[in-house]
């Protein structure tokens, strides 16, 4: 069933993607697009089914090319100490894949919860997040840890990775009123590993130049905390617009994202930017509640899929 099962949350990054990999602040919030998983014991084998993504895998048999999905689920079973048990893992995603909305982390969290429940393995929320982080490393290389944190805790946060200490700084954020958000999907898969790699190369070739861009984005994220606290949507929108300019400077935007950003602004959005890894994937626009429907329908008229949601 759609409603049964254990949940991992999808997410949007409001401000601070990419610079968050370099120890700067980012603001992220859950979206109602989540992933559910159910695990049931069976006689033989470990089977993974994701009907909506057309995935059917037998994890207990060797594969010619091990996918990152296969590797992640195997790692989860191993860490929970149930790799020798037979089980059927079923996953029901409501987050579109490879769209910068955190689907891989949400999937890992949902499967960890469901597998732990099935075999009565005790695991804390922090351990769930840490294990999902190790899964993200398989798919992404050098994740900041923001995706697994959001997927686990599912509430708006200010996040900063702290390399000196093992655990990140996580601060809960509150808004006096819901913040309406339109999500636009570019229809092009985002390859977060590629865009993160591209930024890394640029940074290695010219650390000072890129550190200064990361610090500017950091200032926007910190100003965003204040804007959220006041419920100041116009200020938040302006910060998002400037952030989009800086993400553009990092060359992680795309033709479709730029198109969606322009459509959003032309139709009354207070701010619009890509969200997540970029290079495709998703963008977000902030607007007054009475503008979201016309922004979304203009995006749909141009051929894009959209979701309307809010941060609360």
Q: Which residues are catalytic, by number? A: 147
Say how many CA atoms lie within 13 Å of 225 toward its Cβ.
Answer: 16
Nearest of 41, 46, 34, 49 to residue 4 by alpha carbon: 34
Edge-first strand order for the sheet with 271-275 is 271-275, 282-286, 179-185, 305-311
Q: Are 279 and 194 in contact, with CB atoms under 8 Å apart? A: yes
Of 99-107, 114-122, 126-134, 293-301, the segment contacting ligand PMV by CB under 6 A is 99-107
Mark 270-287 as b/e (b = at least 16 C-beta within 10 Å).
Answer: bbbbbbbbbbbbbbbbbb
From residue 189 to residue 218, the character string flagging contacts with ligand PMV as x (rule: CB under 6 A) and all else as - is -x-x---x----------------------
Looking at residue 190, the DSSP 8-state letter turns out to be -
Looking at residue 83, the DSSP 8-state letter turns out to be T
Give the nearer residue to ligand PMV in terms of CB position, either 190 or 241. Answer: 190
Question: What are the tokens at 11?
Answer: 């997410």
Pairing mode, strands 46-50 and 87-93: parallel
Place of tokens 């990140």: 168
Contacts of 293 (CB under 8 A, 6+ apart): 308
From residue 41 to residue 80, the character string flagging contacts with ligand PMV as x (rule: CB under 6 A) and all else as - is ----------------------------------------
The answer to whether 96 contacts ligand PMV (rule: CB under 6 A) is no
The answer to whether 143 contacts ligand PMV (rule: CB under 6 A) is yes
The answer to whether 21 contacts ligand PMV (rule: CB under 6 A) is yes
Of 98-106, 149-157, 231-239, 283-291, the segment contacting ligand PMV by CB under 6 A is 98-106
Looking at residue 263, the DSSP 8-state letter turns out to be H
The answer to whether 17 contacts ligand PMV (rule: CB under 6 A) is yes
The answer to whether 33 contacts ligand PMV (rule: CB under 6 A) is no
Of 48-56, 106-114, 140-148, 174-182, the segment contacting ligand PMV by CB under 6 A is 140-148
Among the listed residues 276, 280, 307, 311, the single contact to ligand PMV using CB under 6 A: 276
The answer to whether 263 contacts ligand PMV (rule: CB under 6 A) is no
Q: How far is the CB of 13 from ligand PMV (least distance, A)?
A: 6
Place of tokens 């048990």: 85
Binding residues for ligand PMV, rule: CB under 6 A, are 17-18, 20-21, 100-102, 140, 143-144, 146-147, 190, 192, 196, 276-277
């Amino acid at each position: 069933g759609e409603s049964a099962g254990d949940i991992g949350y999808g997410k949007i990054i409001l401000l601070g993607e990419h610079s968050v990999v370099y120890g700067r602040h980012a603001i992220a919030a859950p979206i109602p697009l989540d992933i559910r998983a159910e695990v049931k014991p069976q006689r033989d084998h470990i089977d993974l089914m994701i009907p909506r993504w057309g995935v059917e895998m037998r994890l207990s048999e060797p594969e010619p090319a091990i996918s990152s999905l296969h590797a992640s689920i195997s790692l989860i079973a191993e860490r929970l100490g149930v790799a020798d048990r037979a089980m059927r893992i079923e996953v029901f995603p409501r987050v579109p894949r490879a769209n910068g909305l955190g689907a891989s982390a949400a999937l890992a969290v949902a499967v960890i919860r469901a597998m732990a429940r099935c075999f009565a393995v005790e695991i804390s929320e922090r351990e769930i997040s840490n294990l999902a982080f190790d899964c993200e490393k398989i798919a992404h290389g050098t994740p900041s840890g923001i995706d697994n944190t959001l997927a686990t805790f599912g509430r708006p946060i200010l996040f900063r990775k702290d390399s000196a200490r093992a655990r990140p700084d996580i601060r809960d954020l509150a808004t006096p009123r819901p913040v309406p958000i339109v999500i636009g999907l570019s229809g092009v898969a985002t390859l977060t590993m590629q865009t993160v790699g591209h930024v890394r190369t640029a940074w290695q070739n010219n650390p000072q130049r890129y550190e200064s861009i990361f610090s500017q984005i950091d200032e926007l994220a910190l100003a965003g905390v204040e804007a959220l606290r006041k419920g100041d949507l116009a200020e938040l929108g302006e910060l998002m617009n400037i952030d989009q300019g800086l993400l553009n400077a990092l060359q992680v935007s795309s033709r479709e994202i730029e198109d969606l950003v322009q459509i959003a602004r032309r139709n009354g959005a207070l701010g619009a930017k890509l969200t997540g890894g970029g290079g495709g994937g998703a963008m977000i626009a902030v607007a007054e509640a009475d503008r979201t429907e016309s922004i979304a329908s203009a995006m749909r008229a141009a051929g894009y899929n959209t979701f309307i949601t809010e941060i609360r």
